[in-house]
Amino acid sequence: MLRLRHPADKEKLMSSTRRILSAVAMVLLAAAPLLAQAEKAPPRPKPAPNNVDEVLNAWRDPARKIIAMAEDFPEDKYDYKPSKEVRSFAEQLLHIAGGHELFIKAAKGEKWTEADGNPPRSQYPNKAAIVAFVKKSFDDVNAYVKSQGEIGLAKAIKVPFENRLIIQSALWMEYVQHDAEHYGQLVVYYRLNGIVPPESRPRR
C-alpha cells in the first residue's frame, strides 16, 4: 500500500491523476467523431456480377416489359398498323422473337437468313401462339448465354448483317438495345389505340 508521508505528495498525486484523466478525456473526445463515422459507414458493396450475369440482367427488363405487352394487348388489335408501310403489332412481336433466334444461330455459326428475323404471321395464327413464341425466344437467349459462360462470351464473333467482329457479350448487349427500341414502338401502338401500356399503369 502506497503511503503518503507529506501533504505535498498527496497533492502531487492528485494533480498527476487529474492530468491523466484529462488526457484520456481529450483522446476520447477526439476519437468520438471517428467512432461516429465508423458507425454510420455504409456496408461494403456487393461484388460485381460476372459477365454472364451482367448480360442476363440487361435482358431481364426488356423481356419483362415485352412479354407483359404480348399478353396484355387485345387480340382483336394484334394486326393493327399505324400505317400500311409498317409492321402490325403482331409482326413487331414476331420480329423481336425472330431476331433472338436469328442471333442465336449466328452466334453458333449456323446458317441463317434475314427471313429468320421476320417469321410470317401465317405461322402464328393467334395471340396464344405469338405469346408462346415470344416467351420461348427470351428463354432461348437466357439458356444460350448461360451455356457460353465467361469464356464463350469473351470470344469474338461476326456481327450479323455486318462485316465486323465483336465480343459476344457486347453483341448481346447491342441486341438488348434493339429490343428496347421495339418496345418503344409498341408503346406508340398502345397510345394510338387509347390504351395505357402496362408499365405506365398505377402500381397496385
In a domain, 177, yes or no: yes
For 39-51, write each residue's pLDDT tens digit: 666 777 777 678 8
**Grid cell locating 9:** 505528495
In a domain, 171, yes or no: yes
In a domain, 18, yes or no: no
H or E element at residue 157: strand 156-158
For 165-195, write each residue's pLDDT tens digit: 999 999 999 899 999 999 999 999 999 999 9
pTM: 0.76
CA 4 to CA 93: how far, in whole Å? 97
In a domain, 185, yes or no: yes
In a domain, 148, yes or no: yes
Asked if residue 174 lies in contact with residue 103, where contact means CB atoms within 8 angstroms, the answer is no
CA 36 to CA 74: how far, in whole Å? 58
CA 6 to CA 13: how far, in whole Å? 11
DSSP 3-state assignment of 164? coil
Give the structural domain span for 109: 51-199
In a domain, 46, yes or no: no
In a domain, 15, yes or no: no
The number of distinct structural domains making up the chain is: 1
In a domain, 37, yes or no: no
**CATH number for position 84:** 1.20.120.450
The answer to whether residue 86 scores a pLDDT higher than 60 is yes
